[in-house]
Structure 1
Amino acid sequence: SMIKEYRKAYIEEFTQEKYQALMDDLKQRFGTLPGFKVAETPIFIPHKLRQRLFEATADILKVINRPDFKELTQGAFYNDDIIVPNEDDHPKFIQLDFGICLDEQGELTPKLIELQGFPSLFYYQEALARTYRRHFDIPEGFSIHPNSITHAEFLELLRSEIVGDTDPKRVVILEVEPEKQATAIDFKATEIRLGVKTLCLTKLKKRGKTLFYLDEDGEEVKIEKIYNRVIFDELYQRPELKREFHFVDEVDVEWIGHPNWFFRISKYLMPFLKGDYVPKSYLLDKLEVLPEDLQNYVLKPLYSFAGTGVQINVTKEIIDALPNKSNYMLQEKVEYHPVIETLDVPAKCEIRIMLIRSSKTNSMQIISNLVRLSKGEMVGVRYNKDKNWVGSSAGFFEI
C-alpha cells in the first residue's frame, strides 16, 4: 500500500464538503474548472517507489540521449509533410506515464505505459497541489516535486525556460480552440504566472517569415516564442480550420518544445526501450512472428487518428484485418494493482513523471508529477463514469 498511516488519516478526515470547497476554490482562482474529474484524494508516494521511478526515468533517458537518437526515430514521422523546420538538438519537455504494479516480491513498481515529448499541465498541477494542501491535512516532508526543488525554484525554472528574457506578450501558448479544451485551466494558470498570451492557431497572422497577432487594441504583436500545446492528432481531425500558419512553414520563432519531439518521443519509441520498468513492445510491421500469448498483449495505434483505438483482447484475425500494420504496435499488458485505498474499493493509479530540460545544466530534470486514479478496466475517463475517488490527482513524494 502507499504509506498506510497517511492514507488512513486522509480517509478519516475526508468529507464531501471539504472536497466541494476545494473545487470552489479552483473555480474562483481560475474562473473555470478543469474539463476532467478532479480526484477526491492525492496520493502519498513512499521512498522506495520514488527511487524506482527515478531509475525507470534514467533508463529511458539513456535511450533518448543516444547520439543516434534522431536516426533511430526518423520512422516516427508517418510522412514528410509533418516535419517542422528548425528542430533543436534536444527535447525541452518529456512526460513519462507509469502504471503502478506489484513485482514478484509484492513491492510497488512502475511500468511505462506511454511517453510524450510534449509539455504537460505544469502550472495546473502546482495549483492543484497547493489547493489540496489548503483544504486537507497534507503532511510536511512531502512534495509534488520528486527531486525536492522548492516551489520557488520550480516556478523560476519554468519561467526561465518558457519566457526567459523575452517580453511575455511576445510568448504565445498555442492550441486549437483553447477555451474548449479540457486543459483550459492550465492555460489560465500559465497566463497568470507568466503573463503570456493563449491563442488559437487560427489567430496567428503571417507576413513572410514573421508571425504576429492582434492585441486588444488591434495593434500587431510580433511572436518570438511559441509554447506549443497543439496535439497533432487533434489538428488533423480539423481540416476546416481557416489558418494562415502551418507548422511546416519556415518562420522566425523559437519553439518552446519543438513540435517534432511529439513524434520522436511517443509510442513509436516503446520498442527501443528495455529494462525492468518497460513492458515488451513491438512495432507491428517489424514483427516476423506474432507472440504465442497474444492474450497478454494490447494492440495500440501509434497515432490516435490512425483508425481504431486500443484493442484489449487481441486476436490474430484482428491483426490480419488491419489495413496498415505500420500504424500499430503490440505491447505487453500492464497489470495495474489497486494500491490506493478509498472509501470503498481501492483504486489503480498511474503516475506521470514530468521533465523539463534546463538550459543552465543542459540536462533533463524531473520537476513535477500528475496522477490518474481509476477503478475501471482502463484508466480513461469513460471507464470511470459514476465512480468516486477517481480522476486526475497529484502525488506527494516522501522527500
Structure 2
Amino acid sequence: MDPSARAAFNANFTDEKYQQFLTDIKAGVDHPIHFRLAETPIFISDDFYAKLQQAGADVIGTILQPDFKELTERAIPDQWRVAKENGHAHMIALDFGVCKDDNGDLVPKLIELQGFPSLYGFQSYASEHYKKSFDIAEEWTGHLNGLDEVSYIELLKKTIIGPHQPDEVVLMDVNAPEQKTSVDFYITQQYLGIPVVSLEGLVQKGDQLYYPADGQLKPIKRIYNRLIFDEIAGDPDIFNKAVDIRKPLNVEWLPHPNWFYRISKFTMPFFKGDFVPKTQFLHQVNPIPADLESYVLKPLFSFAGQGVIIDVKPEDISAIKDPENWILQEKVNYEPAIQSPDGGVKAEIRLLYLWPDGDAEPTLAITLARLSRGKMIGVRYNKDFDWVGGTVALVRK
C-alpha cells in the first residue's frame, strides 16, 4: 500500500466529505445502494501492483491451458449444466487478500475466483466519485491497463453487447430489482442502454427468447447473465414458473453459466505459485495435517462465504460425507495494512478482467476492493464498524 498517499488522504479526511460522497454517489443513480461503501479507496503502491499483476497472470495462464475444460468438467453439477457452452469466460474475477510474507513484505494471496460478472458498472462509477469527492490527485486511477472511464466503457460495451444492438441484449437475474447488487445492473443499463429483466420476465416461443417492452415482445440475442443457480436451488418449481434456461435455446450467454463453476474454488488446487495458498481436494488429502488450525475448509458449491469452516477440527472433516466436493486450503492471514484513523484495517482486492469475443486473452480492466475489521471479508461480517465495506483500489497511471 502506498504510505504517502495514505497519509495525505487521512490528513484531509473529514466525515463531512464522506457524507457528501455518499450523497453525490447516490444522486447519480435512481436506485438504492444496498451495501456499505467504505470511507476510503485503497492506494496501491507500484511494487504491490506489480505483484498483483503477476499473481493474476499466473492464474490466467492456467485458465488459458488447452486442457482447462477437461480439468474442470467435474466442476459443473449435472442439474445446473447449461447447453451451448462457449469457448471462454467473458468475465473473470480474482480475489486476493493483502497479506505479509515471511520477510514482512506485503503480498497478494489468492482467496477465491469466479468466471462470473462482478460490479463492472458500479466500480467505474464509484472510482470517479471517490476521486472527485476526496480531491484525489489526477495521477491515481481505478481503470487499469491504460484505460480511462471512456475507453473502459467501450471495452465493457464490446464485451457485453458485441455485434448486437443494445435492445437485443438483456441483463438477467432472478428478481433482478431486489438483488443486493442491483445498483450495478442499473448503472450498466445507463452505460450501455441494455434492459434489465428478471428470470420470470423471459418469454419462450420455440427455442427463441423474448422480453416484454413497449407493449410488444422483443427478441433476445444475448443474455448478460447475473443469475447464480445457488439462489434458485431451494425452489424445485422454479422452472415450472419460468423458462428453463438450461435447455438448448437460440441465445448467446455472457458469460455462459457453466463458467461460474469451471472458474471457481474448484480450480484452486490446479494453481501454483508464490501468490496461491496450498489447496487440495479434501478426498486427496493424505495424511490430514496435524496443524489443522492453519487451514480452512471450504465447500466447492456455495457462494458468499457460506459453509466455510475457519477453525477446522478433525471431527469437521470426519463429518463430511462428500469430501470430493470440499477443499482444504492453507489459511491466509490478512494483514491490517490499511491505516484508518484508529488502527489498521484488512483488505481484499478483486481483479476484474474483460474478455470480449475475438480477443486472445482477457484484459485486466478494473478492481473491486473490500475493507474489513471482522473475521471474514464481507458485509455480513462487518456490521457496526466504520472504515469497512466496498471500495475501489487505485493505482498510479
| TM-score (structure 2 length as normaliser) | 0.96
User: What SS does the aligned partner of 1:346 have?
Assistant: strand
- Runs ≥4 in structure 1, deviation > 6 angstroms? 305-308
- Map residues 187-226 of structure 1 onto 2, 5 A cutoff: 187-215=185-213, 217-226=214-223
Across the two proteins, how many residue pairs are aligned to each other? Answer: 396
Give the alignment partner of residue 310 of structure 1, picking from 283, 308, 311: 308
How far apart, in 1, do the equivalents of 2:237 and 2:388 lie?
36
Residue 232 of structure 2: aligned partner: 235
> Would the alpha carbon gap of residues 181 and 244 (structure 1) be closer, same or farther in structure 2, given more than 3 Å must change?
closer
- Measured after TM superposition, the shift of residue 61 of structure 1 is 1.2
Residue 129 of structure 1: aligned partner: 127
Of 98-107 and 231-240, the range deviating more from structure 2: 231-240
- Measured after TM superposition, the shift of residue 148 of structure 1 is 2.4
Residue 165 of structure 2: aligned partner: 167
How far apart, in 2, do the equivalents of 1:306 and 1:53 lie?
22
Contact 2:202 2:210 in 1 (8 A): yes
- Measured after TM superposition, the shift of residue 211 of structure 1 is 0.3
Residue 350 of structure 1: aligned partner: 348
Contact 1:370 1:392 in 2 (8 A): yes
Matching residue's letter, 2:142: I
Measured on the aligned residues, the alpha-carbon RMSD in Å equals 1.6
- Map residues 311-330 of structure 1 onto 2, 5 A cutoff: 311-330=309-328
| 1:91-128 residue CA offsets vs partner (Å, 9 max, x unmatched) | 11100000011122222110000000011101100010
- Measured after TM superposition, the shift of residue 84 of structure 1 is 1.0
Residue 297 of structure 1: aligned partner: 295
Of 298-307 and 112-121, the range deviating more from structure 2: 298-307
Matching residue's letter, 2:362: M
Residue 34 of structure 2: aligned partner: 35
Contact 1:87 1:258 in 2 (8 A): yes
Contact 2:126 2:392 in 1 (8 A): yes
How far apart, in 2, do the equivalents of 1:251 and 1:312 lie?
41
Residue 103 of structure 2: aligned partner: 105
Query: Gaps spanning 5+ residues in structure 2: where?
Result: none
- Measured after TM superposition, the shift of residue 11 of structure 1 is 1.2
- Measured after TM superposition, the shift of residue 81 of structure 1 is 2.6
Residue 61 of structure 2: aligned partner: 62
1:77 aligns with 2:76: yes
Matching residue's letter, 2:71: L
Contact 1:99 1:350 in 2 (8 A): yes
| 1:194-230 residue CA offsets vs partner (Å, 9 max, x unmatched) | 1101111011011111000111x32010011100000
Contact 1:174 1:228 in 2 (8 A): yes
How far apart, in 2, do the equivalents of 1:26 and 1:33 lie?
10
User: What SS does the aligned partner of 1:317 have?
Assistant: helix
How far apart, in 2, do the equivalents of 1:255 and 1:179 lie?
20
- Map residues 319-398 of structure 1 onto 2, 5 A cutoff: 319-398=317-396
Matching residue's letter, 2:4: E
| TM-score (structure 1 length as normaliser) | 0.96
Contact 1:96 1:352 in 2 (8 A): yes
User: What SS does the aligned partner of 2:355 have?
Assistant: strand
- Measured after TM superposition, the shift of residue 237 of structure 1 is 2.5
How far apart, in 2, do the equivalents of 1:137 and 1:337 lie?
27
How far apart, in 2, do the equivalents of 1:90 and 1:7 lie?
38
Contact 2:162 2:356 in 1 (8 A): no
Of 166-175 and 231-240, the range deviating more from structure 2: 231-240
How far apart, in 2, do the equivalents of 1:315 and 1:203 lie?
46
How far apart, in 1, do the equivalents of 2:289 and 2:137 lie?
47
How far apart, in 2, do the equivalents of 1:197 and 1:92 lie?
19
How far apart, in 2, do the equivalents of 1:239 and 1:179 lie?
22
Of 134-143 and 295-304, the range deviating more from structure 2: 134-143
User: What SS does the aligned partner of 1:353 have?
Assistant: strand
1:44 aligns with 2:43: yes
| 1:268-321 residue CA offsets vs partner (Å, 9 max, x unmatched) | 000111110000111112223212221100011111289971111111111101
Matching residue's letter, 1:367: A
- Measured after TM superposition, the shift of residue 327 of structure 1 is 2.3
How far apart, in 1, do the equivalents of 2:233 and 2:353 lie?
27
Residue 256 of structure 2: aligned partner: 258
| 1:23-67 residue CA offsets vs partner (Å, 9 max, x unmatched) | 111221112232111000001101111111111111111111111
Percent of counterpart pairs with the same letter? 43
Matching residue's letter, 2:83: P
How far apart, in 1, do the equivalents of 2:368 and 2:209 lie?
33
- Measured after TM superposition, the shift of residue 240 of structure 1 is 4.7
Contact 1:10 1:137 in 2 (8 A): no
How far apart, in 2, do the equivalents of 1:312 and 1:167 lie?
47
Contact 2:90 2:357 in 1 (8 A): no
1:3 aligns with 2:19: no
How far apart, in 1, do the equivalents of 2:154 and 2:270 lie?
34
Matching residue's letter, 1:378: M
- Map residues 145-160 of structure 1 onto 2, 5 A cutoff: 145-160=143-158
Contact 1:77 1:83 in 2 (8 A): yes
How far apart, in 2, do the equivalents of 1:160 and 1:307 lie?
32
| 1:62-101 residue CA offsets vs partner (Å, 9 max, x unmatched) | 11111111110011023x2321111111111100000011
| 1:313-359 residue CA offsets vs partner (Å, 9 max, x unmatched) | 11111110123222211110001100000111210100000001143
